Structure formats: structure tokens, C-alpha cells
A = this chain, B = another copy of it.
Amino acid sequence: MLSKKTKYGIKALVHLAKKEDRVPVQISSISKAENISQKFLESILLTLKKNGILGSKKGKGGGYYLLKDPKEIPMTSIMRLLEGPIAMVPCVSLNFYEKCDDCPDENACAVHNIMIKVRDNTLEIFRNTSLADLSHP
């Protein structure tokens, strides 16, 4: 299940991508338009900023804006940043790998093998979908 954090984060990014110019948008503005708790959204936008997706400007007329072209922001980055691993099991995760305690041999594990398939499939979708694709469906 996708966390609300990720869901809200994506919605906010799409909101920003839909603006043609790069004029800063205020948190309160996004929060109202997308029905997201302002304080919660604040923390989400902050992590997006710290990870190089968003820029911000303080003071009057300030707000958040995209640092890159929406075409250059793939879903994989957004998901890994907000949600964490894309794989359903840590032992098949590319970026967040962890060995299973109970599994003596990964290659012989039925769960492992099918979850690799699922991961590859999901990854393919996320790799081929950018923020730009999300913004004009």
C-alpha cells in the first residue's frame, strides 16, 4: 500500500508541474487545491527539497518550485525518495537490499523468484513514466 506521504507528494509535484512557469507556489496554495493537511505537506515538500527535486524561495512571493524539467524526473526517483523500496520484499530490492533471516538460499526461494518478476515489471513502468507524463494524461 502506498503511504499518504507518497500520494500527497506526487500530487503536489504534479500540481507544480502543471504550472508552465517556474514561479514559486506557496504551501498553503497547494494544500488547499489538493486537500492536503498543510503541516503534513510542509514536511513532504521539505524532504523533496533536501533531495534536489524542489527549490524554494522565502519571503513574500515565495514558495516551492521544480528544479528540473518534469520530463527529467522519473517516477522511480519519486517513489524511492518518498516510499522507499519499489520491491515487495527487501531481498529483491535493488536500492534497499536486505537478506532474509529465514531463507538459507535465495535462488531456491519461490517467493524471491516471483517477486523479482513483479519488481522488474513495476520498475519498467516507473522508469518509463516521468512527472511530465503524470501531468498531462
Contact = CB atoms under 8 A, between A and B. Distances in A.
Interface residues of A, number: 35
A52 B53 CA distance: 49
Contact of A121 (B34, B75, B102, B121): B121
B114 A7 contact: no
Quickly give the copy total for this chain: 2
Nearest to A92: B2
Contacts of A7: 89, 111
A112 B1 CA distance: 13
Contacts of A88: 1-2
Contact of A11 (B111, B135, B137): B111
A20 interface: no
Contacts of A35: 101-104
Given A7-B111, A110-B135, A122-B122, 15 more contacts: A1-B85, A1-B88, A1-B89, A1-B90, A2-B111, A7-B89, A11-B109, A34-B102, A110-B134, A110-B137, A113-B134, A114-B134, A118-B122, A121-B122, A121-B125
